[in-house]
Amino acid sequence: MKSKLIIWMSLVCVVTACSSPDAETYYRQGKELREANEPVAAMEAFIAATRVNSTEYIYKGRSYSNMATMCRIGERHELAYALYEQSAEQFLLSQDTLAYAFALNNMAWEQAVIGQKAQALALMDSAIFICPDELLQNKVVETKAAAYLYAEQYDSLLLYTQHVPVKSVYFDILRSQAYTFIAKYDSALYYARLVVEQTDNPRYLDDAYYILTQYDSTAQADDIRALAATRADIQRSLERNDATWMEAMLLAEEALKPSGSLIKGEVWILLVFFGIAFIGGVTILVVRIRRRRICTMEQQYRTLRQSKKLRDELQLDDYGLFCAVCNERLGGIADKLEQRGLSEREIRICVLVLIGLSYAEIAEVLYRAESGIGKDKYVIAKRLGVSVKDLQDTLRQITSGK
């Protein structure tokens, strides 16, 4: 009787393994889950699509691309670049030239964001050379403009956007930002208003809202109130640092490791049937303990970031109380930064960067110009011996004592 039961269980395992979904099915599941705002489940489905042992390169490439886009939203740009690189390899295997060229342009955009302008331009040139498609050319034009912005070459950005034939709301927000950085506020306001009139994209509206409220003293009160009402939706749309999105980013990092590092569901079933469930239970327990430790500090960041009275809660107007609060709630960060020779103003900015505030939000909390915050972040990063893009990660390492 026992032998028959074992044979039956083995047959169930084999049938289950053989009838597992293909890459296309996993990919479509991931798309549905992503649209339903379930990032962890979506990321798991996309990873499963890349792990299927088949030649469905197009769906594997699309899965890697979706994973990269999710990391881009979460502002994990180096990770996004690596995933777009994987998507390019899959599209190349599928002989889909257009998809491959778009993947190269996505890689270029990520390089532009992290300040690698030369590498970004080289990737753009390769994309156009491989596939001179009109839609792709328009995307490349936008990527090149972004490269100028993140390289802080504002005059070059303005000159470039004036001479390209493509009309784009994205260009208008870039122009508005560039004029803000060079202190030509009338022009910045002009393009910010154009953005508000042309789009409901929350990321563009967020930047336009900040410029309007900071520099337009004649703005109609009703218009500002309408934008302020939208801001809550904007912030929810931009919020990509909660525990579920962080877990999804961790899964994306795992996806770049050899396939043996991820255990498929079918293998778990086999392990259970062959009596190794104990190892699985211990592994799950260890992972949960580790995630709980990570999420404890992340919850503190999130609580502060979402505070409606952040200035009062952090005691920003009283430096002594401010340091006491930060040392108690943020792992002694104030003392650690003072030991590294940072000034009071720089420590205030570091704490706001640590908890995840954007340039615009830091400027709003400290009643300062956004361009000044950008310069301070550059000086702080240089003093700590890191790049601006690595500043938040460095501060988190300092907080955790690494």
Burial label, 192 (beta-carbon count in 10 A; 0-12, 13-18, 19+): buried
Specify whether 147 is located in the same domain as 192: no
Q: What is the pLDDT of residue 64?
A: 92
Specify whether 196 is located in the same domain as 145: no
Q: Can you tell me the distance from the alpha carbon of 217 to that of 225, in angstroms, rounded to the nearest whole number?
A: 14
**Domain closes at, from 144, 164, 184:** 164
**Domain closes at, from 221, 239, 257:** 239
Q: What is the pLDDT of residue 350?
A: 92
Q: Can you tell me the distance from the alpha carbon of 334 to that of 337, in angstroms, rounded to the nearest whole number?
A: 5
246 lies in a domain?
no
Q: Side-chain half-sphere of 340: how many Cα atoms within 13 Å?
A: 20
264 lies in a domain?
no
Q: What is the pLDDT of residue 308?
A: 84
116 lies in a domain?
yes
Local structure of residue 211 (DSSP, 8 states): H
Specify whether 175 is located in the same domain as 80: no
Local structure of residue 61 (DSSP, 8 states): H
Q: What is the pLDDT of residue 26?
A: 92
Specify whether 156 is located in the same domain as 188: no
Give the C-alpha distances (Å, rounded to integers) separating 40 from 47, 60, 243, 261, 389.
11, 18, 10, 17, 25
Q: Can you tell me the distance from the alpha carbon of 309 to that of 392, in angstroms, rounded to the nearest whole number?
A: 22
Q: Residue 111 is encoded by which pair of tokens?
A: 């390089």
274 lies in a domain?
no
Question: Which tens digits make up the pLDDT trace of 314-373?
Answer: 888 898 998 998 888 888 888 999 998 899 999 999 999 988 898 888 888 888 888 888
Amino acid sitting at position 203:
R
Specify whether 171 is located in the same domain as 152: no
Question: Which tens digits make up the pLDDT trace of 11-66?
Answer: 544 444 444 578 889 999 988 988 888 888 888 999 999 888 888 899 999 999 99
Specify whether 331 is located in the same domain as 198: no
Report CA 201 to chain centroid distance, whole Å. Answer: 17
Ranges in the chain, pLDDT < 50:
1-8, 12-19, 260-268
**Domain closes at, from 164, 194, 209:** 164
Specify whether 44 is located in the same domain as 154: yes
Question: Helices in 239-387 by DSSP H: which ranges?
Answer: 243-255, 265-273, 277-305, 310-314, 319-329, 333-339, 344-354, 359-366, 370-384
Specify whether 38 is located in the same domain as 148: yes
113 lies in a domain?
yes
Specify whether 124 is located in the same domain as 196: no
Q: What is the pLDDT of residue 261?
A: 38
Q: What is the pLDDT of residue 323?
A: 92
- 139, 138, 135, 144: which is closest to 111 by C-alpha? 144
51 lies in a domain?
yes
Collapsing DSSP to helix, strand or coil, 36 comes out as coil
- 188, 187, 162, 164: which is closest to 177 by C-alpha? 188
Q: What is the pLDDT of residue 290?
A: 56
Q: What is the pLDDT of residue 236?
A: 53
Specify whether 368 is located in the same domain as 386: yes
Q: What is the pLDDT of residue 324?
A: 92
**Contact indicator for 84, 110 with CB cutoff of 8 Å:** yes
Q: What is the pLDDT of residue 258?
A: 66
Residues of the domain holding 319: 298-400
Specify whether 103 is located in the same domain as 56: yes
Q: Can you tell me the distance from the alpha carbon of 250 to that of 244, in angstroms, rounded to the nearest whole number?
A: 10
**Contact indicator for 66, 34 with CB cutoff of 8 Å:** yes
231 lies in a domain?
yes
Number of folded domains that form the chain: 3
Q: What is the pLDDT of residue 223?
A: 61
Specify whether 172 is located in the same domain as 49: no
53 lies in a domain?
yes
The CATH number covering residue 138 comes to 1.25.40.10
